[in-house]
């Protein structure tokens, strides 16, 4: 299967669309990383459900999860790639886009294997509530990540993806970037966690806003943009098991890149069971057995909130794009 598909051409086309001056900080790279993360982070080792196989975010039950707010933009950005390479599955496209974006933003080259298949309907979707709630603390982080068979070191390493992107008040409720250069993958997130004097954010009368931490980067004036940290970020330096890893990554970029590479590669393989041909099946979910095939779902529309049918007219359950 892998030899008959030009995944390198897909990689190249993803690279070409990353720069988008009108979007956040001029790049869609960070939101593509978040898409790959959230598409994979629903895995639960106890029930062996969820994970990157299936591309369940095409359906309202998963795509409409409040934890996935804003990811409709990432999915629409990738529709041009899907239109050109209609053979690729969404579950492969979303995860590949994440690893390409990380590398192109200065991060490590993360191993990626193709072969994921797309759900034909929404009957195998994982339940909502498995993704991290940024308003929580260390106990919540462990509850979420331990379900994915991740340990404390991997929790801290994966949190380093917060060196990319920013929060939006109309999506998560939180607002602002974690670092001054949110389109460059680095270990700066850990350095700033330890170095800056974080204070509760003053929302200046804005009602209903969530609690978050705020600080100014060195040299930034009163009118400059504040950086932010979420409660789950601050938990990394408050928890005695997490903090040593923050300190190590803050001083050793190579160690962080190595650990992040391994943890992210593990993340995007969660829930993926390949046969001898390298094709991921859903047999562990529905006991279907039989011959598996690399089957791509019909292309969705290139606009948010599209109709219930794919571009080729095949009816599919409504997805929030």
Annotated catalytic residue, options 37, 38, 94, 213:
38
Beta strands in 111-262 (DSSP E): 166-167, 176-177, 199-200, 213-215, 227-229
Beta-ladder partners of 309: 315
- 178 is annotated as an active-site residue: yes
Query: For this structure, is 38 an active site residue?
Result: yes
Report how far residue 158's alpha carbon sits from residue 160's, in angstroms, rounded to the nearest whole number.
5
Number of C-beta neighbours around residue 84 at 10 A: 11
Residue with tokens 């600080």: 215
Of the residues 37, 94, 112, 178, only one is catalytic, namely 178
Farthest CA pair distance, the chain: 64
Cα–Cα distance, 102 to 183 (Å, whole number): 9
Residue with tokens 């095939």: 293
Among 61, 87, 54, smallest CA distance to 317 is for 61
Residues that are catalytic? 38, 178
């Amino acid at each position: 299967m892998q030899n008959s598909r030009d995944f390198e051409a897909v990689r190249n086309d993803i690279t070409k669309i990353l720069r988008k001056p009108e979007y956040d900080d001029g790049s869609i790279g960070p939101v593509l990383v978040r898409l790959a993360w959230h598409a994979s982070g629903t895995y639960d080792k106890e029930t062996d459900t969820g994970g990157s196989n299936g591309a369940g975010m095409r359906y309202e039950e998963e795509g409409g999860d409040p934890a996935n707010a804003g990811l409709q933009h990432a999915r629409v950005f990738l529709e041009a790639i899907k239109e050109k390479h209609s053979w690729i599955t969404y579950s492969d496209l979303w995860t590949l886009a994440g690893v390409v974006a990380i590398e192109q933003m200065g991060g490590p080259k993360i191993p990626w294997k193709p072969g994921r298949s797309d759900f034909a309907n929404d009957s195998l979707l994982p339940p909502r509530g498995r993704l991290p709630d940024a308003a929580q603390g260390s106990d919540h982080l462990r509850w979420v990540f331990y379900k994915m068979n991740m340990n404390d070191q991997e929790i801290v390493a994966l949190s380093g993806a917060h060196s990319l992107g920013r929060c939006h008040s109309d999506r998560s409720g939180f607002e602002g970037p974690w670092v001054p250069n949110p389109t460059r993958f680095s270990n700066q997130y850990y350095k700033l966690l330890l170095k800056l004097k974080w204070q509760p954010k003053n929302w200046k009368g804005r009602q209903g806003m969530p609690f978050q931490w705020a600080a100014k980067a060195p040299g930034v004036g009163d009118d400059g943009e504040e950086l932010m940290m979420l409660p789950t970020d601050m938990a990394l330096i408050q928890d005695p098991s997490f903090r040593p890893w923050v300190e190590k990554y803050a001083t050793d970029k190579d160690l962080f890149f190595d650990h992040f590479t391994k943890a992210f590669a593990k993340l995007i393989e969660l829930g993926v069971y390949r046969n001898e041909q390298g094709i991921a099946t859903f047999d562990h979910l529905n006991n279907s057995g039989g011959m598996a095939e690399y089957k791509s779902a019909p292309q969705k529309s290139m606009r948010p909130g599209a109709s219930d049918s794919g571009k080729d007219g095949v009816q599919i359950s409504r997805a929030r794009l």
